[in-house]
Structure 1
Amino acid sequence: MHDIETLVIGAGAVGLAIARELALTGREVMVLEQHGLIGSETSARNSEVIHAGIYYPTGSLKARFCVEGKERLYRFCAENGVGFEQIGKLIVASNNDQLEQLQSIRRKAAENGVTDLVFLDQDSLNEAEPELACTGALHSPSTGIIDSHGFMLALQGELEANGGQVVLNTRVARLERLADGGYRVHAETEGTETYALTCKELILSAGHGAPALAAGLEGANPPAAYLAKGSYFKLQGKAPFSKLIYPVPEPGGLGVHLTLDLQHQARFGPDVEWVEVADYRVDPARGDKFYAAIRSYWPGLPDDALLPDYSGIRPKIAGPGEPAADFRIDGPSDHGLAGLVTLYGIESPGLTSAMAIGSYVAQLVTIGL
């Protein structure tokens, strides 16, 4: 007999979405979270953008879950009073060569099921966004912004309404496979008290910590883990644009883009800095490189207008110079361990994809795939 039927490790957006979905099936679900607040790592340190699903490789989990998750997320927010705005995004070309890239982006988006992109010429953009300098842009009307913490609180509310629970300040130290089936989870509370819980089904949605925890389970075969820090800088004063502004993607990332929060305060970022340990302090000097990049599409950016804001750390499973990895979600058919699902590399668009991932993982657990 196990202490709990289903245990989820990690109370970020994805872990909570999974736990909610499993609780809706009638399971007894518990979520363990090492911090004193849900979603206080990757889920709370991002752009809070609801992505459309434009750039990801066709057929990838990122493309599939982003497009499906976007629609589910908008519905969930509307039904549960979570703050959001379908504000739209402009992908801007700074020269004629990049205009050709816009057409490639549009074709890729259509392959992923995103068919609502509209090309805007320079005259249209001059009228709509007079501060914007570009030769043309793609408008993505299904891109939005969200109150990510409000979203996670709503997920937690539905989880608890269906008999589940979230246990905070509980760090999982080690996982153990039981000889007669199921798992033993060794955990530590805030006061260093240690205890163990057994469960029939185990979902490892621990972000940065998932590969190290899975390494203790023979046969789990986790990937290598890398940390890619991204810093954000906020704009002093009123935002110059009414929509999100993204330059044409560059090798290694989406470039320094402008996002807006629900109060329409503008911020820029994130950049990419490979680090060995998690350190969320923002180095003000990193903002120096932002000015030239931003002025490629907003030449009116004043000197000294950017202030250090916050940073996030992407849980990467591909290192510097390697092609970006897809989400990796391993079920029993991948590792041979019944009742175990492990999630790795759930970076952007993880927030947008959370509800789609939750449904997929619940299916893996229910069917035993």
Structure 2
Amino acid sequence: MADFDVAIIGAGAVGLAAGYACAKRALNVLVLEQAPHIGAGVSSRNSEVIHAGLHYATGSLKARLCVTGRRALYPFLADHNVAYAKSGKLIVATQESEIPALERLARQGEINGVEGVRWLSGEEARALEPQLNAVAALLSEESGVFDAHGYMAALQGEIEAHGGAVVLSSPFEGAHAQDGGYAIQVGGEAPTQVSAVRLVISAGLGAQDCARKIEGFPAARVPALHFGKGNYFALHGVKAPFARLIYPPPIPGALGTHYRRDLGGVARFGPDLEWVDHEHYSVDPARAAGFYETVRRFWPALPDGALQPDYSGIRPKLHGPGEAQGDFVIDDASAHGLANLVCLFGIESPGLTSSLAIGEEVADRLGI
């Protein structure tokens, strides 16, 4: 008999959401995390934005799971007393040539079933945000910001309240199929082996390495990993200029460098997109020049010297420079041939917004 019904590798937002979805189904859940605390990777280094679902291709996992996940997220946050602000988002055209991109977004949002989207003239946008430079804008009323760490703590609490366990400082060293499930090797200060009927890989930047450590996992099903670093700069010495999220039209591979006022009232800009070949999180102050240029398109009053390096994150992208933006990859037995195994690759934005829906998707893929 296996020690656990489900073992999940990775205690970021998506891994914890998968654990929550399985625990709600009365299964005995184990979540293993190599770091000494939850949410130490991709989940701790993002914008904490709740996306409405406008930007994602018709029929994609990103489109479906973002909309479903966002609709589930606000009630979860409210029920668990996790801080959030449904601030709304303005996606702005700062010149006439950008209006077609907004029109495409509006059509995509309608296809994706996104509610609360309105077209605004430049005058209407400036009535909402007087410092904004815009000739037109889309208002997404369902967008917002939230406390991602509080959210993950609530997910951990739910897993534990349902009898599951989240075990930290416990790196995944490998797994192989055995009668009744998987034998899982766990490293750390006290290496051990546990068994589980079902196994989920939700390891962010480490997902590919984890998949390669599963005996019999086909190498052809491990996608290439590209590090899409996003840098952030914070506004210093100036009051936050906007109440709402401010986004430009999307750029290839990302949503574009945007503005947000976090829950503490601090104004932050980012992320940009910097392709790197290894994991590092320093922010080069020289990148501020590109931020000034980008931000002043929608906020001309940005003073010189007001942007200071803040933090960075790395997206686990499945496409490289010049390649088409990809979808989430959620592989089950139909893809890799191993029963009771789900592997998640390329869970970048909007993975945080989508996390509750991804968790339900994982549970469904496991046949729970």
TM-score computed with the length of structure 2 as normaliser = 0.96
Q: Which moved more, 1:97-106 or 1:137-146?
A: 97-106
The partner residue of 1:200 within 197, 202, 208 is 197
Residue correspondence of structure 1 range 79-228 to structure 2 within 5 A: 79-178=79-178, 180-189=179-188, 191=189, 193-217=190-214, 218-220=216-218, 221-228=221-228
Q: In 1, distance between residues paired with 2:43 and 2:17?
A: 12
Which sections of structure 2, spanning at least 5 residues, go unmatched? none
Find the counterpart in structure 1 of residue 362 from structure 2.
361
Q: Is the CA contact 1:90–1:138 (under 8 Å) kept in the aligned structure 2?
A: yes
1:162, distance to aligned residue in structure 2 (A): 0.3
Question: 2:263 aligned with 1:266, yes or no?
Answer: no
1:166, distance to aligned residue in structure 2 (A): 0.4
Q: Is the CA contact 2:224–2:318 (under 8 Å) kept in the aligned structure 1?
A: yes
Which sections of structure 1, spanning at least 5 residues, go unmatched? none
Q: In 2, distance between residues paired with 1:95 and 1:115?
A: 26
Q: In 2, distance between residues paired with 1:216 and 1:137?
A: 48
1:58, distance to aligned residue in structure 2 (A): 0.8
Residue correspondence of structure 1 range 241-280 to structure 2 within 5 A: 241-280=242-281
Q: In 2, distance between residues paired with 1:128 and 1:204?
A: 44
CA offsets 1:169-222 (integer angstroms, 9 cap, x no match): 1111222233x3421222211x3x422222211011011111111123324422
Residue correspondence of structure 1 range 267-346 to structure 2 within 5 A: 267-346=268-347
Q: In 1, distance between residues paired with 2:130 and 2:223?
A: 47
TM-score computed with the length of structure 1 as normaliser = 0.96
What secondary structure does 1:214 align onto?
helix
What secondary structure does 2:366 align onto?
helix
Question: 2:235 aligned with 1:235, yes or no?
Answer: yes
One-letter identity of the residue aligned with 1:32: L
Q: In 2, distance between residues paired with 1:115 and 1:73?
A: 15
1:279, distance to aligned residue in structure 2 (A): 0.8
Question: 2:26 aligned with 1:26, yes or no?
Answer: yes
Q: In 1, distance between residues paired with 2:126 and 2:160?
A: 50
Question: 2:350 aligned with 1:349, yes or no?
Answer: yes
Residue correspondences, number: 364
1:95, distance to aligned residue in structure 2 (A): 1.1
1:263, distance to aligned residue in structure 2 (A): 1.9
What secondary structure does 2:352 align onto?
helix
Q: In 2, distance between residues paired with 1:336 and 1:252?
A: 31
Q: Is the CA contact 1:35–1:169 (under 8 Å) kept in the aligned structure 2?
A: yes
CA offsets 1:78-115 (integer angstroms, 9 cap, x no match): 11111011100000001112123222210111000014
CA offsets 1:218-244 (integer angstroms, 9 cap, x no match): 244221111111110000121111101
Q: Is the CA contact 1:51–1:352 (under 8 Å) kept in the aligned structure 2?
A: yes
> Would you identify which runs of 4 or more consecutive aligned residues in structure 1 move more than 6 Å?
none
Find the counterpart in structure 2 of residue 78 from structure 1.
78
Q: Which moved more, 1:96-105 or 1:61-70?
A: 96-105
1:280, distance to aligned residue in structure 2 (A): 1.2
Q: Which moved more, 1:101-110 or 1:155-164?
A: 101-110
1:277, distance to aligned residue in structure 2 (A): 1.7
